[in-house]
């Protein structure tokens, strides 16, 4: 393991992200904040939604922002760089085993996802104040945030190394959109009590654990999946997606 090369790879990604910072900012935050504004502010103040919905919504929005950012940050560059020009090859020829290039992408995606999550939270809070939300257990919150970031970045690796450029649209409409809507992001899992079959099916969606876990650590008083189950499920999905992602990466990197 060559730490200097690994550090230089991270520095390269940070440099590129810095160059695209403004674009990245709007891409990451515009949609979630609009959502927060309409559902948390407009609908609540006009009386269509109860005020308590605000604190229920924000953790879900944080989960969406993190997952979207992590997937995007890892998958999109990989899809482009493994395409026709194979521009990732200059990094594959860096003096480090191929697998670490994938790991670096995951780590950088995680950092971006965590930053996105930690920015959307205060921004949402500003928009929705007064809102009953707080980090009640910093340790649980940190663990869940890191696991959610890892799940999004590993998912990005798996998707980015399995998809072609022409399937990007499909990736969003067929994978990410259903994941978000069935991910307990805009409602708690317990709201699905009225739909017992659906309630079981959505458990294959890792975003459910992300939303429920963040909700559990940020908001008190709502029924949620047990924190242990959430952490176990997130670890399971992290490992699964990382394994699939690394395998796909190796297939793409070496012919």
Partner 1 sequence: MAIGVRTKDLRKIYNSAPPFAAGGVGIPRAGARDGKRGKAPKAQVVALDGVSLEVEPGEIFGLLGPNGAGKSTTVGVLTTRVRPTSGEAWVGGHEVWKDQAIVKRLIGVVPQRPNLDFSLTAAEILIFHGAYFGLGTKERNERAATLLEKFKLTDRANQMVRGFSGGMMQRLSIARAMMHDPQVLFLDEPSAGLDPQTRILLWEIIREYNQAGKTILLTTHYMEEADALCNRLAIVDHGKVIALGTPASLKASIPGGYLLRLRFGKQPAELMTGLQSLAGVREVRPQDTTGADVYADRGGSLIPEVAALATSTGAELLDVHISEPSLENLFLHHTGRSLRD
We find the least distance from the C-beta atom of residue 192 to partner 1, in angstroms, to be 36
Q: Is the CB of 89 or the CB of 232 nearer to partner 1?
A: 89
CA-CA distance, 60 to 65, in Å (whole number)? 9
Cβ distance to partner 1 smaller for residue 11 or 30: 11
Closest contact distance (angstroms) between CB of 105 and partner 1 is: 13
Question: Which residues bind to partner 1, rule: CB under 8 A?
Answer: 2, 4-5, 8-9, 11-12, 15-16, 19, 77, 85-98, 253-255
Q: Could you give the residue ranges of the DSSP H alpha helices within 20-52? A: 21-35, 43-45
Question: Is 76 in contact with 240 (CB distance < 8 Å)?
Answer: no
Q: How far is the CB of 25 from partner 1 (least distance, A)?
A: 17
- Identify which of residues 51 and 92 has a Cβ nearer to partner 1 in the complex: 92
What angle (nearest 5°) sits at the alpha carbon of residue 252, between those of residues 250 and 254?
Answer: 65
**Minimum CB distance to partner 1 smaller for 16 or for 239:** 16
Question: In the bound complex, what is the minimum distance in angstroms from residue 73's beta carbon to partner 1?
Answer: 13
For 144, the 3-state DSSP assignment is helix
Report the residue number, 93 or 174, with the smaller CB distance to partner 1: 93
CB 242 within 8 A of CB 109: no
Cα–Cα distance, 40 to 195 (Å, whole number)? 25
Whichever of 77 and 183 has its CB closer to partner 1, that residue is 77
Q: How far is the CB of 85 from partner 1 (least distance, A)?
A: 6
| CB of residue 22 to partner 1, shortest distance in Å | 15
Exposed/middle/buried for 53, CB within 10 Å: 0-12, 13-18, 19+?
Answer: middle
Instruction: For helices 206-218 and 53-82, give the axis angle rounded to 10 degrees.
Output: 140
Residue with smaller CB distance to partner 1, 92 or 168: 92
Smallest separation (angstroms) from partner 1 to the CB of 47: 48
Burial 58-96 (b: 16+ CB within 10 A, else e): bbbbbbbbbbbbbbbbbbbbbbebbeeeeebeebeebeb
CA distance 114 to 148: 9
Cα–Cα distance, 125 to 58 (Å, whole number):
8
């Amino acid at each position: 393991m060559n730490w200097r090369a690994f550090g230089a790879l991270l520095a390269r990604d940070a440099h590129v992200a810095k160059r695209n910072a403004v674009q990245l900012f709007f891409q990451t935050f515009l949609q979630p904040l609009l959502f927060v504004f309409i559902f948390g502010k407009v609908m609540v103040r006009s009386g269509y939604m109860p005020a308590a919905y605000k604190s229920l919504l924000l953790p879900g929005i944080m989960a969406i922002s993190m997952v979207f950012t992590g997937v995007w940050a890892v998958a999109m560059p990989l899809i482009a760089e493994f395409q026709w020009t194979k521009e990732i090859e200059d990094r594959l020829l860096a003096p480090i085993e191929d697998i670490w290039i994938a790991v670096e992408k995951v780590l950088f995606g995680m950092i971006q996802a965590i930053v996105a999550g930690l920015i959307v939270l205060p921004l949402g809070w500003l928009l929705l104040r007064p809102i009953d939300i707080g980090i009640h257990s910093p340790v649980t919150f940190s663990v869940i945030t890191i696991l959610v970031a890892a799940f999004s970045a590993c998912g990005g690796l798996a998707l980015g190394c399995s998809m072609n450029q022409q399937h990007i649209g499909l990736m969003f409409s067929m994978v990410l959109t259903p994941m978000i809507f069935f991910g307990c992001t805009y409602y708690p899992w317990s709201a699905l009590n009225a739909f017992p079959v659906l309630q079981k099916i959505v458990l294959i969606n890792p975003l459910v654990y992300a939303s429920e876990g963040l909700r559990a650590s940020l908001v008190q008083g709502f029924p949620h999946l047990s924190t242990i189950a959430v952490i176990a499920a997130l670890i399971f999905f992290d490992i699964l997606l990382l394994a699939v992602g690394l395998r796909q990466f190796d297939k793409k990197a070496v012919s």
